[in-house]
Structure 1
Amino acid sequence: MTAIHRHPARSSVSLLVPLLAGAVIMVALGVYGRAHTPTGFAVGVAGFSAALPMKVWLTTAAAALAVVQIVSALSMWGRLGIRIPEGVHRWSGRLAFLLTIPVAFHCLYALGLQYDVPRVMVHSLLGCFFYGVFTTKMLALRKDGTPGWTLPVIGGLAFTALVGLWLTSSFWFFTAVGFAV
């Protein structure tokens, strides 16, 4: 396994399509979440007592896998002095993303984008931002000609957004409600 090296002098123009696609996803989710009439109906709560604990625990698992993403990315870029197989990075990312899907679906479908409570507003906006940044990262990942800073910066933004989502949902739940399943 070799460390990934990008050429820093390459043009940022190669990021135009991934950035535009990410922006479209982010705005589309926000518009849908705001325009859609929330159903209030909980979906996908199998194995959990209610939708909120399901969202809390799936987000917690995704955030834990995001930490694996950071550690494995640092290893791939040769920053740790140890080698973690690239498959760990790929599969932890895939699994983290898959865990966010039922959460996002429930948030958009049942609750919509909300602005009335500051914590919930920040959470809603971070959710849209996360999927926009994730889209950008996935499209930029295999694109030739991207500057060397592309993946660390966009990956860092995705990680930061996911941690922000965890703080405004799971952490809030654990401190306000407890550790219900």
Structure 2
Amino acid sequence: MSTGHVSTIDTPISPFTAIVAMDGAVLASGWTASADDLLPQVSPTLRPTTLTPRRDLGAVTRAVRAYHAGDLRAIDDIPVRQRGGEFTRQAWDALRTVPAGKPISYADYALLAGRPAAVRAAASACARNAATLFVPCHRVIRTGGVLGAFRWGPDVKRWLLNHES
């Protein structure tokens, strides 16, 4: 039986919930008040069987608050743990290198992840990203500037991109 911690923080967009492993690595996060919206996104091999609510998750809570208050780099060094295939892991790592305020296209994202022809696979990596915000998939947009899909909705994605510009 594995245990994780969960906390929900008020943000200017909506409540933000994070699920973290015992060592503080983010397993899942997003703009929701319910851990039930996040748990299915966590790989079964990482998914905690017990979640202990916490008011504060230390560095994770501080980073979420600081990011929403304008410190866009506050999320950069928070550890994240996700499981996926080799390309998906590379793609998630590549997302963490995309600077705030500089959104990229899915084609550029595939190139950044090391497989320029794998645009659909790059988009799939975004869709499978459980640790939104810390792995900033909101920074990937369609060619021509169209927002594209986002698990937490177009209004949240638009707010994040505006916040970072």
- TM norm structure 2: 0.28
Larger Rg: 1
Q: Which has the higher contact order (CA 8 A, sep 6+)?
A: 1
Q: More helix by proportion, 1 or 2?
A: 1
Q: More strand by proportion, 1 or 2?
A: 2
